[in-house]
């Protein structure tokens, strides 16, 4: 279930907002949460469990646990800046058919998770999701594959700095919000506005598990070269997969390449 109207917000409104108001205002442009859950995995015939868990600051969160028969591992999925987990039905289906359990969760302010989204809050939310898998479900870290799509990339990468997952997968991810702003506005002094916001490159350089970077040459939001830069920044072993399609739908447009690439990556990491 792909909703192409939801995309990484353009840099222009973020810049304008920060320039004319407070930094907190920028959150309203960076994050585009949707409260209403449009569907559940049941719509494609998958059994799932509603999961309630709590971040370290007390914020109550919500997610779905979708088990796969004869599971070969577990995916912890960090979604992008818009919508909520009900916009991930196609993604859930793909990983389920790869015989991988998947835990998708909503950041604070998204779906039925409480609170309001902030950068620091999303990091706490990912930590809480990891803790749920490891402590509540007793899943070994080495069985967990952390996946971050778009804005979920820096969230996933930051999580993996101090964890020991099986692998980290970054999909359609920017090097940092600052770099994205400078890409769109090269003649404006924007670096000081964003400082270290969602600095994926810095986080990836500290990750020491296998890393797979997936990016479309036709991504109209996050330029292809940023995916390449993340791949070059990652510690070995690392792999890069080129797909086609838009920022939001590339994984589905290039479904066969996407699936076979992830399968090959995971197989090679097991050797």
Q: Enumerate the active-site residues.
A: 150, 219, 247
For 66, 108, 190, 234, the CA distances from 63, given in Å and listed in that order, are 10, 11, 35, 29
DSSP string, 10-68: PHHHHHHHHHHS-HHHHHHHH-EE--S----GGGGT---EEEEEE-TTS-EEEEEEE--
CA distance 49 to 233: 37
**Spatial contact of 245 and 252, defined as CB atoms under 8 Å apart:** yes
CA distance 87 to 76: 16
CA distance 49 to 41: 10
């Amino acid at each position: 279930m792909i909703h192409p109207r939801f995309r990484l917000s353009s840099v222009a409104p973020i810049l304008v907002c920060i320039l004319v108001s407070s930094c907190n205002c920028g959150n309203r442009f960076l994050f585009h949460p949707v409260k209403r859950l449009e569907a559940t995995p049941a719509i494609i015939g998958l059994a799932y469990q509603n999961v309630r868990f709590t971040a370290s600051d007390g914020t109550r969160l919500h997610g779905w646990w979708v088990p796969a028969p004869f599971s070969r591992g577990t995916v912890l999925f960090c979604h992008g800046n818009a919508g909520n987990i009900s916009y991930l039905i196609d993604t859930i289906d793909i990983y389920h058919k790869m015989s991988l359990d998947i835990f998708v969760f909503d950041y604070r302010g998204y779906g039925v998770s409480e609170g309001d989204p902030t950068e620091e809050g999303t990091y706490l939310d990912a930590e809480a999701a990891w803790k749920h898998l490891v402590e509540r479900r007793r899943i070994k870290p080495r069985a967990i594959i952390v996946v971050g799509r778009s804005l979920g990339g820096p969230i996933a990468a930051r999580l993996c700095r101090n964890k020991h997952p099986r692998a980290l997968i970054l999909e359609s991810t920017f090097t940092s919000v600052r770099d994205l702003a400078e890409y769109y506005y090269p003649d404006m002094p924007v670096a000081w506005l964003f400082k270290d916001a969602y600095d994926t490159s810095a986080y990836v350089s500290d990750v020491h598990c296998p890393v797979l970077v997936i990016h479309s040459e036709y991504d109209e939001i996050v330029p292809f070269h940023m995916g390449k830069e993340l791949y070059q920044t990652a510690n070995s072993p690392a792999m890069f997969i080129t797909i086609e399609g838009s920022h939001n739908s590339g994984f589905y447009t290039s479904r066969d390449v996407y699936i076979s690439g992830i399968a090959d990556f995971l197989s090679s990491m097991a050797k």
